[in-house]
């Protein structure tokens, strides 16, 4: 059975679930939770929450956690590709489809992106529609916009100073 714990983050209430020694789910307060879980804060869940807090504070750009997303081979290929999108950057569904070697799979990439069980850690918020349109996100389009805006604001400028300074 999965263990899960809930945290009040700057973006609202977030749940983090662990299964078999790896992070299995991240879910927002109003989204679907894993089917079966026991509320318990494990050391791994605590570490994941600490990394999320650091991310929201702008002190972390990459996560160092074991992840165990459950999905089809295609979905896992999409999620693996999402992990390569750098902090503060975006890719279109078409670019992700090209990267996995299936350029006509834009809609399937969108479905796989929407089924990502480990939001933020697997950065599905960094995938946008053609022309820069912010499309659906499990946490809501407003959350997606907020995450992308936060990452953009914490990007260094050419002088090496952050745009926020």
33-63 pLDDT, tens digit per residue, is 666 788 899 999 999 999 999 999 989 999 9
Expressed in angstroms, the distance from the first to the final Cα of the chain is: 45
Q: In which residue are the tokens 């400028």 written?
A: 157
Active site residue 106: no
DSSP state of 162: B
Coil, helix or strand at residue 13? strand
Q: b/e for 128-150, b at 16 or more Cβ within 10 A?
A: beeeeeeeebbbeeebbebbbeb
**Claim: this prediction has a pTM higher than 0.95:** no
* Structure confidence at residue 137 (pLDDT): 76
From the list 17, 118, 124, 150, the catalytic residue is: 124
Residues 16 and 23: beta-carbon distance below 8 Å: yes
Q: How far apart are CA 165 and CA 154, in angstroms?
A: 9
pLDDT tens figures, 100-146: 999 999 999 999 998 999 999 999 999 998 888 787 777 778 888 88
């Amino acid at each position: 059975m999965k263990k899960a714990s809930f945290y009040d983050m700057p973006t609202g209430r977030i749940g983090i679930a662990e299964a078999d020694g790896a992070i299995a789910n991240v879910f927002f307060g109003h989204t679907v939770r894993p089917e079966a879980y026991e509320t318990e804060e494990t050391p791994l869940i605590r570490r994941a929450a600490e990394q999320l807090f650091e991310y929201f504070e702008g002190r972390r750009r990459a996560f160092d956690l074991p992840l165990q997303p459950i999905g089809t081979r295609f979905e896992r290929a999409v999620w693996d590709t999402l992990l390569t999108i750098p902090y503060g950057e975006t890719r279109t569904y078409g670019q992700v489809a090209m990267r996995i070697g299936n350029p006509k799979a834009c809609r399937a990439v969108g479905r796989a992106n929407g089924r990502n069980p480990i939001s933020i850690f697997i950065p599905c918020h960094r995938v946008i529609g053609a022309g820069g349109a912010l499309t659906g996100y499990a946490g809501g389009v407003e959350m997606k916009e907020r995450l992308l805006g936060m990452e953009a604001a914490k990007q260094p400028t050419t002088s090496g100073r952050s745009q926020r300074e």
